[in-house]
Amino acid sequence: MPVDALAHRRELTDAVKASARQVGFNLVGIAPAISPAGFPKLQEWLRAGFAGEMQYMPRREAAYEHPRNVSASVRSVVMLGINYRTEEPAPPPANAGRVARYAWGTADYHDLLRDKLKELANELHRLHPGCTTRGVVDTAPLLERDFARLAGLGWFGKNTMLINKQAGSWLLLAALLTDLDLIEDAPHSTSHCGTCTRCLEVCPTDAFAGPHVLDARKCISYLTIELKGPIPTELRTGIGEWMFGCDLCQDVCPWNKKAPTSSAAAFQPQADLNPADCITILEMTRGQFDARFAKTPLERPGYEGLRRNAAIVLGNRGDQAAVAPLIKALDDDSAVVRGTAAWSLGQLGGEPAVAALKARLEVETEPGVLAELRQAIARST
Active site residues: 138
Size of the chain in residues = 381
Q: Is 322 exposed, middle or buried (0-12, 13-18, 19+ CB in 10 A)?
A: buried
CA distance 107 to 267: 8
Closest CA to 260 of 126, 158, 164, 127: 164
CA distance 130 to 202: 50
Report the amino acid identity of residue 91: P
CA torsion through residues 45, 165, 137, 85, sign:
positive
DSSP string, 323-334: HHHHHHHTT-S-
Strand residue runs (E) in 51-117 = 76-83, 96-99
Alpha carbon dihedral 306, 307, 312, 318, in 10-degree steps, equals 130
CA distance 313 to 10: 53
- CB distance 257 to 282 below 8 Å: no
Q: Find the DSSP H helices in 256-301.
A: 278-282, 286-293
